[in-house]
């Protein structure tokens, strides 16, 4: 199925050290992080600012992390999640905000990276007052951070946030649901991977397994079927799966069965970390390209292993940038055509990353990180942080 052997022979494990991540301060030890879990952690990942938010009357407990504003205001969604403890929430917001810096940079957007997390159950703890109080905290950052929807947050919630701050995107009647744009970017990036792996970017007859057919996954399935791909899908939510089975000519497979399928392309569009020690022993694909964030459970380890297996991995934050491209258009008042062109351009960005990855024997995600860092570094020379 995949041409792994060729690649394995050319691999040098030393490439792990090829790129030193500019956003990591190496001298901070894990033991320091136990005793100094906040600023030491910020320093390790090069965050600019964290705002801890508390409001007893509404029950709001939130953390806003601004990772980097060299390219522009930090844009990233607000996630509401019942974290087990504060450290879990802090780690999540630090990791996600840093990811936004890379995503925005590599997408050529003049945006920095930020993210917010609200600690709590999105089904039972949300209220107009809580969202408005959160909006006040966003506003206190004076535009350094622009928020948007993420897991557990709806457009209605964002309208409450908007009552207290203008630094919010993804409002009803504005740029709208980003999912079709995200799916278009994933589809184009997948085609670029196919071009590199199969010599043609046509997906006709290619066996594609889509894990998760929610907002993005369903749009992706539509594009794949239109091109003549043979599509298998799975989803954890039975009603969604039933709807998809009724509407499209796809093979429905079990939640775990998806990893063992005879497939050309694995498209994770549900959860992160599905490319891990266990699944890598099972996946028989030649391309991994999907919308989910943080697909590699351990970037360093699994990025190398994917490559050793001859699988082309499309770095997730590059591939799924359609959503933030859509948000950026709202910030700048750009047209839908601009959004479409920019999402289609993910073909070229992914194409050059996977080509360079093969030529230089360096995992694709490392190439992507380097390109993002180079842009921030070069623009930083002509522009001071906000």
Q: How far is residue 373's CA from residue 3's CA, in Å, rounded to a whole number?
A: 31
**Site pattern 196..235 for ligand NAD (x: CB under 6 A):** ---------------xxxxxxx----------------xx
| Closest C-alpha to 133, from 80, 81, 83, 59 | 59
The rounded radius of gyration (Å) of the Cα atoms in the chain is 20
* Contact mark string toward ligand NAD, 136..175, x via CB under 6 A: ----------------------------------------
The DSSP bridge pattern shows strands 49-55 and 60-68 to be: antiparallel
Using CA atoms, how far apart are residues 184 and 287, in angstroms rounded to an integer? 17
Bridge partners for 60 per DSSP: 55
**Residue whose entry in the numeric block shows the structure tokens 């970037």:** 299
355 binds ligand NAD (CB under 6 A): no
Interface with ligand NAD by CB under 6 A: which range of 130-138, 189-197, 200-208, 291-299? 291-299
Distance between CA atoms of residues 384 and 224, nearest Å: 43
Which residue's CB atom is positioned nearest to ligand NAD? 214
| 107 lines the binding site for ligand NAD (CB under 6 A) | no
Smallest gap from Cβ 266 to ligand NAD, in A, equals 12
Residues 231-250 that bind ligand NAD (CB under 6 A): 234-237, 240
Q: Which of 179, 184, 286, 349 binds ligand NAD (CB under 6 A)?
A: 179
Task: Please report, for residues 87, 239, 240, the alpha-carbon distance to residue 246 in angstroms, rounded to integers and kept in the order given.
Answer: 43, 11, 10
Q: For this structure, is 61 an active site residue?
A: no
282 binds ligand NAD (CB under 6 A): no
In the list 101, 182, 357, 366, the residue contacting ligand NAD (rule: CB under 6 A) is 182
Restricting to residues 6-35, which ones interact with ligand NAD according to CB under 6 A? Answer: none
Tokens 């594009």 -> residue: 223
Among 111, 270, 283, 367, binds ligand NAD (CB under 6 A): 270
Taking the least distance from each CB to ligand NAD, the nearer of 37 and 214 is 214
Tell me the helix, strand and coil percentages in the chain, rounded to 5: 45, 15, 40
> Which of these is catalytic: 115, 342, 358, 370?
115
Judged by beta carbon, residue 33 or residue 252, the one nearer ligand NAD is 252
The string of DSSP codes covering 160-179 is HHHTT-S-B---TTTT---H
What residues contact 352, with CB distance under 8 A and at least 6 apart?
A: none
Binding region for ligand NAD (CB under 6 A): 178-179, 182, 211-217, 234-237, 240, 255, 269-271, 291-293, 320, 323
Catalytic residues: 115
């Amino acid at each position: 199925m995949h041409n792994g052997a060729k690649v394995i022979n050319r691999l040098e494990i030393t490439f792990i050290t090829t790129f030193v991540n500019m956003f990591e301060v190496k001298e901070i030890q894990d033991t320091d992080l136990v005793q100094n879990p906040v600023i030491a952690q910020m320093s390790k990942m090069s965050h600019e600012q964290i705002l801890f938010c508390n409001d007893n009357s509404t029950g709001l407990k939130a953390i806003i992390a601004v990772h980097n504003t060299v390219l522009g205001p930090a844009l990233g969604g607000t996630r509401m999640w019942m974290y087990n403890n504060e450290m879990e929430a802090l780690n999540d917001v630090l990791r996600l905000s840093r990811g936004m810096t890379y995503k925005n940079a590599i997408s050529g957007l003049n945006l920095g990276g930020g993210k917010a997390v609200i600690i709590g159950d999105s089904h039972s703890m949300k209220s107009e007052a809580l969202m408005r109080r959160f909006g006040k905290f966003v506003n206190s950052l004076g535009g350094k951070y622009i928020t948007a929807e993420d897991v557990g947050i709806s457009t209605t919630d964002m309208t409450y946030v908007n009552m207290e701050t203008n630094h919010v995107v993804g409002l009803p009647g504005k740029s709208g649901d980003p999912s079709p744009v995200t799916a278009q970017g994933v589809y184009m990036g997948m085609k670029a991977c196919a071009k590199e792996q199969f010599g043609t970017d046509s997906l006709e007859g290619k066996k594609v397994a889509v894990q998760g057919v929610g907002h993005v996954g369903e749009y992706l399935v539509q594009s794949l079927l239109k091109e003549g791909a043979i599509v298998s899908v799975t989803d954890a939510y039975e009603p969604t799966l039933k709807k998809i089975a009724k509407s499209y000519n796809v093979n429905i497979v079990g939640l775990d069965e998806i990893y063992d399928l005879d497939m050309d392309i694995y498209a994770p569009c549900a959860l992160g970390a599905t490319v891990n020690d266990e699944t890598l022993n099972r996946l028989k694909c030649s391309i991994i390209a999907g919308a989910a964030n943080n697909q590699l459970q351990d970037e360093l380890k699994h990025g190398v292993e994917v490559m050793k297996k001859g699988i082309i991995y499309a770095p997730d934050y590059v591939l799924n940038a359609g959503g933030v491209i859509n948000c950026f258009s709202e910030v700048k008042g750009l047209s839908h055509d601009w959004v479409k062109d920019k999402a289609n351009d993910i073909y070229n960005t992914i194409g050059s990353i996977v080509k360079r990855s093969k030529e230089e024997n360096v995992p694709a995600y490392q190439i992507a990180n380097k390109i993002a860092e180079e842009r921030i570094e070069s623009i930083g020379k002509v522009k001071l942080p906000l």
